Structure 1
């Protein structure tokens, strides 16, 4: 093995010397052009040992695997008409004569709000443009959810794949990309991932958008996306029948997405460039590139935020005898980004925090409604906000398909249903009141439950030795301890969130 390694170095060194001599012989080139030409020729004569092994493996027979249609998390129909709870016998702030432990007075923490520049209205907030890197060759200009990006590419990338899919054609295309000067693009993708705090999903979306901007057809886009994602360390896997498909594993279940199972691992046809539907068998390889093992981590906190135009929405509802208007602003591109994500497990939704400015606005406006009241009254006021400030519609009615919403999306869309409201309510209880909260997952319905410091009358569940009081942000005007009638007596699954 040592002799083989030395031979590789000698061969590479001779190629580099030959390239350097040919460049020196051209006096019309600048110093930079000479260096660049010599470096590129040297690189094209060299293949990483892992690439060599991988190309050899790709040329072997690919195995057929069966694809399966995406699963649904909850197939039970949701209620289309929501009942209204009977009015309270006594005012919410009236003393309760039932003997119980007192619930403490709430102190609401207030984050420092993020402010727009003076003389700037939310609707005309300036678009943030990041300084473009110094690129001398061809480059793609991207608008990535409001972030202006400029990323280099090389001449091999636009024609990444133009053949009928086969193992030999795919191996040849991989080798062409591996021999090309791909490293400047790879390094710029890595730098962008770091600077924009991109999650794995955002990174995969960026790679797909980059490939879309650079290549000339769908198979070339998929080929280049696969190559770059593997080079970034992801377990991206190519498959084909009469066209190419890109599939990736995830650290959590993904719903409504075609997948196949290989080596006990599910590989999902994630919607990186729109929905992907695969029917029947596809061919794929068994052994992955040595450097590529990372799944898409959906359980990790999402820190990426879109930039650009800001939208304002006013949410109105009745609190006692007063109309309350809650005004929120948020970047439209963040809604577009969240909408790009596939449907995930229910626990993923409440934990995705709001943009800092939106969170600060909600806190400053909701704080006066909660301050100085007991935990029970404060929770009831948050319930009232979520129950009555939003129109109720099922996902089928609003989107013609199941579509769980993140809290920011619930603030954005005209209507929402039970799991959307439960996610937003849970986030607000955690953020404003610092109380433990879980989700209650019934067939066809999702509610929440809060662990109060003191005792609260009404329906409750015991989970892991702790008592949680039912709080349903969909059951109109229901207070803590009230279960929607059609689900009374049922035992829901308890979903830990906060």
Structure 2
């Protein structure tokens, strides 16, 4: 035993003066860093910890709402044939400009070795590495209380957490993560690092606050993370505090919260950002590609479209909560998928007049997919982004309207809006010249009804069930 005790002394004696000087400089640097952390804790977290130690406010959670609770049609009628629908008219001929070359897909920078311990994740096909400190693995074993939560925050705030938040910020920038994708990454990291759900929730809350988000912790028998949003969110519970809605967004696998909760009445001074859903998504998943081929008949001739897309992108889009209807048509397809679809549709619309080109896109969307309501396919309301409509075998009215609107915008450059009827969604297109059929005025411009769900309907035809109903108009592409 005594011989072992001599080893550190021998090692110390073998160090050069330069090594000792370097170690001394390192210790001075390390001491300065620790002092900086303590100062940072005092300046930025002391008041917040004070909020956490005070009596927490009881709030009632409210059930998630639906944007349109009206039942959707189960059986879709087929429009009567209109012999002149595809004959040339005096509307301008469409000249389609091919899309720009596909940008290389975003690839994450190579994972650099992390000094110390690291959690490795497969984040929607991207293999990422994030450092952690042992404090982050500390289980929150206490029954939730203001004192226990304040102690947990203080422990994390006093640790060397900055390498973790810096790495999170690097991935956020290099992968072009939206606020939602960032919250998902934080949750995945916490789930893989902390031992059980309350510890994971506490760690997610702490890291999101340190990244500047107005994340809020609440508790009943367990801890719950809630976040504000910059737009309406449907189908998730929420509570209102100081006039602001905090949503129980599905960033983790924890079951939805309901009933009464307790939360603190205060805000960390650096955490003010809501989750921004109005900002378009730019994150693109990686990993294996899925392939799909669609077939539809155009004037008796079968037409096929084939395309690829990252399967993990579907998983990511499926993680999003239900947003306002206007958010769906504007989310572009992944660059390679968009290029493939548009390049195959260009020859079909090139040289046609505006009405013929729009009718072709209408008939494509009407006939290339099986119709099923969300209740039939998903057992709940589930608006689909255009890529999801291209992925799933079936879709319903708002999904088809979103895809059709995006195709009209991308291929034809014509203004398009959504028509939101009770229980049904269609679209309307502003042609360069007046077109026969049903139409309405919006922003001093005449829009002709185009319904991508009404089978074989052409521009100007409204589904009979909604012919006497005035829809809400949702502006999309001017």
Describe the SS at the equivalent of 1:189. helix
Report the alpha carbon displacement of residue 310 of structure 1 after superposing the two structures with TM: 0.6
Note the alpha carbon deviations across 1:343-373, whole angstroms, 9 max, x for none.
0000000000000101100111000000000
C-alpha contact 1:222 1:246 (8 A) present in aligned 2: yes
- C-alpha separation in 1, matches of 2:21 and 2:189: 34
- 2:179 is aligned, of 183, 200, 203, to 200
Measured against aligned partners, the alpha-carbon deviations of 1:314-344 in whole angstroms (never above 9, x if no partner) come to: 0001001210000011001111100000000
Q: 1:275 to 1:244 in 2, by over 3 A?
A: closer
Q: Deviations over 1:273-316 (max 9, x none)?
A: 13642221100011100001110000001111001101110000
Matched position secondary structure for 2:380: coil
Provide the residue aligned with 1:42 in structure 2. Answer: 35
Residues 341/486 of structure 1: CA separation in 2 closer, same or farther (3 Å cut): same
Measure the CA separation in 2 of the matches of 1:273 and 1:310: 25
Question: Structure 1 length normalisation: TM-score?
Answer: 0.89
Report if the CA contact (8 A) 1:130-1:149 is conserved.
no
Q: Secondary structure at the match of 1:467?
A: strand
With over 3 angstroms needed to count, the CA separation of the structure-2 counterparts of 1:74 and 1:428, relative to structure 1, is same
**1:324 has 2:324 as partner:** no
For 1:74 and 1:104, the matched residues in 2 are separated by 37
Partners in 2 of 1:105 and 1:44 — Cα distance?
66
Tell me how far apart the structure 2 counterparts of residues 450 and 275 of structure 1 sit (CA, whole Å): 43
- The 1:181–1:331 alpha-carbon spacing in structure 2 relative to 1, beyond 3 Å, is same
CA distance in 2: counterparts of 1:483 and 1:349, whole angstroms: 22
Distance in 1 (alpha carbons) for counterparts of 2:457 and 2:249: 39
Out of 249, 261, 264, the position equivalent to 1:282 is 261
Give the Cα separation in 1 of the matches to 2:241 and 2:108: 42
CA distance in 2, matches of 1:29, 1:167: 44
Q: Aligned pair 1:108/2:80, yes or no? A: no
Alpha-carbon shift at residue 88 of structure 1 (Å): 1.1
Contact 2:140 2:198 in 1 (8 A): yes
Q: In structure 2, which of residues 210, 233, 241 is the aligned counterpart of residue 254 of structure 1?
A: 233
Looking at structure 1, the residues matched to 113 and 472 of structure 2 have their Cα atoms a distance apart, in angstroms, of 54
Name the structure 1 match of 2:71.
Answer: 77
Match of 1:54 in 2: 48
Q: Distance in 1 between matches of 2:31 and 2:246?
A: 41
Residues in 1 aligned to 2:34 and 2:265: alpha-carbon distance in whole angstroms: 33
Q: Determine if contact 1:160/1:223 at 8 Å carries over to the other structure.
A: no
Contact 1:250 1:295 in 2 (8 A): yes
Q: Which residue of 1 aligns with 2:82?
A: 88
Alpha-carbon offset, residue 464 of structure 1: 2.1
Distance 2:417 2:302 in 1: 30
- Distance, in Å, in 2 between the alignment partners of 1:181 and 1:160 is 17
> What's the counterpart of residue 436 of structure 2?
457
Gap change, CA 1:37 and 1:386, over 3 Å in 2: same
CA drift at 1:213:
1.1
Give the 3 Å change call, closer, same or farther, for CA 32–127 of structure 1 in structure 2.
Answer: farther
The question of 1:310 aligning with 2:289 is answered yes
Separation in 2 of the partners of 1:57 and 1:48?
A: 14
- Does structure 1 residue 475 correspond to structure 2 residue 461? no
Q: Name the CA distance, whole Å, in 2 between partners of 1:426 and 1:72.
A: 22
1:38 Cα offset (Å): 3.3
**Residue 224 of structure 2 corresponds to residue 231 of structure 1:** no
Which consecutive unaligned segments of at least 5 residues does structure 2 have?
1-16
SS at match of 1:64: strand
> Shift in Å at residue 114 of structure 1?
3.2
Q: Which residue does 1:380 correspond to in 2?
A: 359
SS for the counterpart of 1:384 is helix
Residue 455 of structure 1, CA deviation: 1.1
Aligned twin of 2:10: none
Deviation at 1:112, TM superposition (A): 3.4
SS at match of 1:157: helix
- What is the SS of the residue equivalent to 2:287? coil
Partner of 1:484: 463
Runs of 4+ in 1 over 2 A off after TM superposition: 26-46, 112-116, 126-130
> Equivalent residue for 2:4?
none
Contact 1:145–1:306 (8 Å) recurs in 2: yes
**Alignment pair present for 1:68 and 2:62:** yes
CA distance in 2, matches of 1:248, 1:33: 40
Confirm or deny: 8 A CA contact 1:113 1:356 kept in the other structure.
no
